[in-house]
Amino acid sequence: MQPAVKARMTENFTALQDINWMRLDWRRELRNNITTVDMLKTYLPLGGREEAELRLVTDIHPMNIPRYYLSLVDPDDPQDPIRRMCVPDAAELVVAGSMGETTADPYGDDKHNKGNGLLHKYSYTALVVTSEYCAMYCRHCFRKRMVGLSNELTVKNFHNAAAYIADHPEITNAILSGGDPFMLPTRVLEEMLAALADIPHLNHVRIGSRVPVSYPLRLFDDDLMALLRDFGERKTLFVPTHFNHAREITPVAREAVYRLRRCGITVNNQAVLLRGVNDTVEALMDLMNGLLRIGVNPYYLYQCMPVARVRHHFQVPLKEGVDIVDRARRYFDGYAKRFKYIIGHDIGKLEICGRIGDKIILKQLHARSGNEDDVSRLMVRTLTDTSGWLDDLPETNL
């Protein structure tokens, strides 16, 4: 690399550190997102082969990195955990390998689609896919096949989705998901929440968002905060978010979370165990303790799903994952221990309780509609060194 090019790259990256992210217009700043390999090259060094491979990857799965999140990357470390979550990698071209089969739809979204972007997987929960757009396209996303791409699963008419929820009294909670609902215009989100506010059998609403992590400047919009505060006075509101690494817990993210909490919102965290990101005892300790410091509840730690172009890049074998989680738990206080290590499978959510030798113990927490008798059942499966998913585990007995 020519010295002048490297100097310009360093200057561009260093300039990111001087930006006051809390004072930017969140809409305008989106125009500065890094969406092409040529844009990425102005901030991070790329080898010739790497550049060619990234162009192949981004032809399949788009790249979208906010400058804020890019500023968290260590530009001198090609294996930086923050970089792994936002910058495409040649490993995304791998669709088969030693970890086993992959799938485009590991959570069974398609079969539970009721139209209008509404997924009714559990009798008591309705999930509405409000948008295919996120502030950042995470490389480990389990909805990778649809995020950033036109698709048939997103909501077309939210009032029809709300009417479905109103007509099903067994539904006690609704989740606005995506994509990222907070990336919708505030007026659109206001219409969606208004349609849910007066449904009597809804106990609470959740807005699933990685905005507090990847694009916290959105939460410095006073109109959005006023909307969330007003809605929270009518119905309980939760925000499940998605911190995966302690370095994502920046002063800007901390203040964004405080703004949500000042609106009376409970913020829970749903992390994913990711190879090269948080697959060490120290990384999990730093993450869970860091979350508690800013008032975010550790809730779930997901096993990475066997998503096509994700599994062989990010999935940690279950035997290794169980041991990492168990060792980390030794050092947690009671509140940090509360998170559950989870497989989010097509049959429902399974808690990974632990292992005895080469046998893993699972407990089913949620089951799909019509299979409610499966809730709370214990399952015993045989582990191998490479098995990473329920379907890899033969049934056995203790």
In angstroms, the CA 98 to CA 45 distance is 30
Which strands form 348-356's sheet, in the order they lie side by side? 118-122, 125-129, 173-177, 204-207, 236-241, 266-273, 297-303, 340-345, 348-356, 359-367, 378-382
pLDDT tens per residue, range 245-300 = 999 999 999 999 999 999 999 999 999 999 999 999 999 999 999 999 999 999 99
Domain-located, residue 140: yes
Does residue 165 register a pLDDT over 90?
A: yes
- Residue 308: the pLDDT is 84
Domain-located, residue 105: no
* Most confident listed range (44-48, 129-133, 155-159, 380-384): 380-384
- Say yes or no: 377 and 297 in one domain: yes
pLDDT band at 370; cut points 50, 70, 90: confident
Does residue 214 register a pLDDT over 90?
A: yes
3-state secondary structure of 257: helix
- Residue 1: the pLDDT is 67
CATH number of the domain to which 211 belongs:
3.20.20.70
Quick check: 52 and 38 in contact, CB under 8 A? no
pLDDT band at 329; cut points 50, 70, 90: very high
pLDDT (mean) for 162-174: 96
- Say yes or no: 121 and 81 in one domain: no
Does residue 207 register a pLDDT over 80?
A: yes
Residue 92 burial by Cβ neighbours in a 10 Å radius (0-12, 13-18, 19+): buried
Q: Which domain holds residue 209?
A: 110-392
pLDDT (mean) for 2-18: 87
- Say yes or no: 28 and 177 in one domain: no
pLDDT tens per residue, range 195-204 = 999 999 999 9
pLDDT (mean) for 225-252: 98
Domain-located, residue 346: yes
Nearest in space to 93 (alpha carbons), one of 63, 54, 65, 62: 54
- Written as one string, the DSSP assignment of 226-249 is HHHHHHHTTSEEEEEE---SGGG-
How does 298-322 read in b/e, with b if 16+ C-beta sit within 10 Å? bbbbbbbbbbbbbbbbbbbbbbbbb
With pLDDT > 90 as the criterion, what percentage of the chain qualifies? 77
Domain-located, residue 161: yes
- Say yes or no: 58 and 133 in one domain: no
- Say yes or no: 39 and 125 in one domain: no
- Say yes or no: 295 and 321 in one domain: yes
pLDDT tens per residue, range 104-126 = 555 555 544 657 789 998 999 99
- Say yes or no: 298 and 261 in one domain: yes
pLDDT (mean) for 134-149: 81
- Say yes or no: 365 and 331 in one domain: yes
For residue 384, the one-letter residue type is T
In angstroms, the CA 284 to CA 361 distance is 21
Does residue 155 register a pLDDT over 80?
A: no
Does residue 185 register a pLDDT over 70?
A: yes
pTM greater than 0.85: yes
Average pLDDT, the chain: 91
Q: What is the DSSP letter of 151?
A: -
pLDDT (mean) for 323-348: 95
With pLDDT > 70 as the criterion, what percentage of the chain qualifies? 92
- Say yes or no: 123 and 250 in one domain: yes
pLDDT (mean) for 373-394: 94
Domain-located, residue 397: no
Domain-located, residue 135: yes
pLDDT (mean) for 356-384: 93
The total domain count for the chain is 2
- Written as one string, the DSSP assignment of 313-351 is HHPPPHHHHHHHHHHHHTT--TTGGG-EEEEEETTEEEE
- Residue 152: the pLDDT is 55
pLDDT tens per residue, range 332-341 = 998 999 999 9
Using the 3D structure, point to which of 23, 58, 92 is the last residue of a domain.
92
Within a 10 A sphere around the Cβ of 133, how many other Cβ atoms?
A: 18
Domain-located, residue 74: yes
Does residue 100 register a pLDDT over 70?
A: no
3-state secondary structure of 84: helix
- Say yes or no: 241 and 373 in one domain: yes
Nearest in space to 28 (alpha carbons), one of 61, 67, 62, 58: 67
- Residue 106: the pLDDT is 53
Q: How many CA atoms lie less than 13 Å away from 288 in the CB half-sphere?
A: 28
pLDDT tens per residue, range 62-94 = 999 999 999 999 999 999 999 999 999 999 988
- Residue 143: the pLDDT is 79
Using the 3D structure, point to which of 42, 64, 92 is the last residue of a domain.
92
Does residue 47 register a pLDDT over 90?
A: no
- Say yes or no: 304 and 258 in one domain: yes
